[in-house]
Amino acid sequence: MVIFHMKSYKGMPVSKGIVIGKVYKYSKKSALIESYQIDVEEIAEELERFREAKEIAHQTLLHIKEKASQDLGENQAQIFNAYIHMLNDPVFSERIQGLISEERLNVEGAIQKALAELSEKFRRLDNDYIQERLRDIEDVLSHLLRALQGSANSLSNLPENSIIVAEDLTPSEIALIDKELLKGFVLRQGGMTSHTSIVARSLGIPAIINVDERIMDEVKNGEVIILDAIKGEVYVSPEREILERYRKKICILKKREEELLGLSQEEAITRDGHRIKLAANINSLAELDAVRRVNGDGIGLLRTEFLFLRREHLFDEERQFKIYKKVVEKMEGRPVVIRLLDIGGDKDLPYFEAPREINPFLGWRGIRVSLERQDIFKSQLRALLRASHYGDISILIPFISSIEELREVKGIIIEVKNELEQENIPYNRQIKIGLMIEIPSTAIMADAFAREVDFFSIGTNDLIQYTIAVDRNNSRIASLYTPFHPAVLKLIHQVVRAARAERIGVSVCGEAAANKYLLPVFVAMGITELSMSSGYILETKKLIRKLNKGELGQLLDKVMEMNQATEIENYLKRYMEALLGARNGGSNGSRHEKE
Ligand code: PEP
Ligand code: MG
């Protein structure tokens, strides 16, 4: 029996929460099976790894069997019973244990050798049935090896309660994961507003990034892991007292969440009567229930590109129409803002051929793709316009950098509307068209843009990276990526003033919308709508109900005079702490601090 010593690591929390689960290491390299000699002292540890891998493979096979019986029927699922039986066959286990203890092979080496021996024996028997069984055994062993290493394709069949430990994950890799089995992410790379972090937040899955690189070598599959994505701490093979302490913390958090739910029917209104709309950002239909649970004021941003990540192709018009119609119907009259496809940057669709670029975030992205691929663009517009007949849909245009581009898009929208007229297909003729403000040139020209559209939605995630030239995904410079930068706040202020002068709506839909320290600044500027992951709506509502807009003018003036991000951040933190201390007894919940 091997005693694991507790290991602890620090990182940056990007999706709040605390969970306890089992380590599941994921590596992009296809499982490289290394066979090597071990020292005598390592025998016990390898035997333990074998035992744990068998347990994980057993659980995985049970899970696959259950899925197969739901999808294919009981009969087809029987094969997995045979697999489970093989996995637990004592003769086979004894042979592997023997190879570890006597020949001093590592587990992976022992499994490969046992398989080679079996293949050799079976191959001599020229019998189809036996050859079939050999393939079964190979399949079982591949589960065992995956349990030991975590291989490239293994995201689609995680064991239960997995906390994934990986260098990085892309949104399309996350799409492969069965979310029922996943409890959290611990990643080496990423940024607060990388799409991986955004997806984790929308799904309500706790995640931390920028974790010490030692973690990849030091932890093993199946080890118990505590992920504290509030403080940014990870404990692997924790001592009993720590485990107990964290179980209690989880209970307290659950209670707090339930208490917050009590606010779902209250209004997000300041103490002096200013109502702020709190809408939800969603990336999939599965998130609609969570939006309804917290009683969000509609959908402020539906990122349509995420709907197509898991598929092997972009949906045709008909499929898209059905999806958009379903969203508005499920929102029962509440407004739904649907953003046109924004692929590129870190949002690659695996099947969509895009050129390799040195600077993908400055390249063929968002509206630039749509304007070139008008076949794709028009089928999305047709689907959206058709769905607008069934509820309150607005169209949001991403990644616009010039008036010419916007006018070209508006021209295509008119063309598509005319087509629908000719075909007698109903759509909302007054459908609102909004613009993402996420590129500095657009923010600077906001007064001109405000005359061209019905509303602005400020995408701080990109606006920050382009304004201060800090890649939103690069963990190495994550500390430079700050929404408190005075240049960013000046641009936002300018955009809000331009929108108000033209009397068009203006909201913030980037991650900064859920930043509690920026909340008084946004309210003071006159922003009346914020859109965020649904998990942050109630906490934001709680804070709005403590603010007094009339008192915030001075705060805004002060902030706008400051020249340094740290100065602004510290000032706003002190303001919020004083406010909460004075009105709430000090507790400020668990929001991510550095957005
Ligand atoms: C943004 O840029 O702020 C935004 C909301 O869009 P995305 O995160 O999808 O780029
Ligand atoms: Mg963006």
153 or 70, which is more confident = 70
Q: What is the pLDDT of residue 321?
A: 96
Q: At 392, is the secondary structure helix, strand, or coil?
A: coil
> Is it the case that residue 18 has pLDDT exceeding 90?
yes
Residue whose C-alpha is closest to residue 253's, from 204, 301, 314, 193: 204
Nearest bound ligand to the CA of residue 281: 1
For the chain, the average pLDDT equals 89
Question: What is the tens place of the pLDDT at every residue in 88-129?
Answer: 888 888 999 999 999 999 888 898 888 888 777 777 776 666
For residue 461, give the ligand 1 atom closest to its CA.
Answer: 3
The full DSSP string for 176-194 is TS-TTTEEEEEESS--TTS
Q: Residue ranges of the domains in the chain?
A: 7-27+155-257, 40-149, 262-561
Q: Which two tokens stand for residue 186?
A: 């611990």
Q: Which two tokens stand for residue 556?
A: 């805004």
* Residue 195 annotated in active site: yes
Angstrom distance (rounded) from CA 190 to CA 204: 17
- Is there an atom of ligand 1 within 6 Å of 346 CB? no
Residue whose C-alpha is closest to residue 429's, from 494, 385, 459: 385
Best residue among 197, 283, 462, 467 to mutate for probing ligand 1's pocket (most ligand atoms within 8 Å of CB) is 462
Give the lowest-confidence range in 189-198, 307-316, 366-375, 456-465. Answer: 307-316
Give 124: exposed, middle or buried? Use CB within 10 Å, 0-12, 13-18, 19+: exposed
Give Cα separations from 486 to 336, 467, 511, 573 (angstroms).
31, 10, 17, 15
Query: Per mean pLDDT, which of 28-37, 103-112, 122-131, 238-247 is the most reliable?
Result: 238-247
> Is it the case that residue 586 has pLDDT exceeding 60?
no
Fold of 7-27+155-257: Glucose Oxidase; domain 1 (3.50.30)
Instruction: Give the pLDDT mean for 378-403.
Output: 98
Band of pLDDT at residue 37, cut at 50, 70 and 90 = confident
For residue 436, the cross-strand partners are 457
Q: What is the pLDDT of residue 76?
A: 64
Rg of the chain (C-alpha set):
27
For residue 339, the cross-strand partners are 303, 396
504 or 67, which is more confident = 504
Percent of the chain whose predicted confidence (pLDDT) is above 70: 90
Q: What is the pLDDT of residue 333?
A: 94
* Residue 509 annotated in active site: yes
> Is it the case that residue 593 has pLDDT exceeding 60?
no
Band of pLDDT at residue 572, cut at 50, 70 and 90 = very high
Q: What is the pLDDT of residue 376?
A: 92
| Amino acid symbol at 479 | S
Nearest bound ligand to the CA of residue 339: 1
Best residue among 193, 196, 495 to mutate for probing ligand 1's pocket (most ligand atoms within 8 Å of CB) is 193
The full DSSP string for 381-396 is HHHHHHHGGGS-EEEE
Q: Which residues contact 180 (CB under 8 A, 6 or more apart)?
A: none
Matching CATH number, 40-149, of 1.10.274.10, 1.10.645.10, 2.30.36.70, 1.10.540.10: 1.10.274.10
Q: What is the pLDDT of residue 122?
A: 73
Residue where the block lists tokens 């201390």: 581
Going by CATH, does the domain composed of 262-561 fall within 3.40.50.720? Answer: no
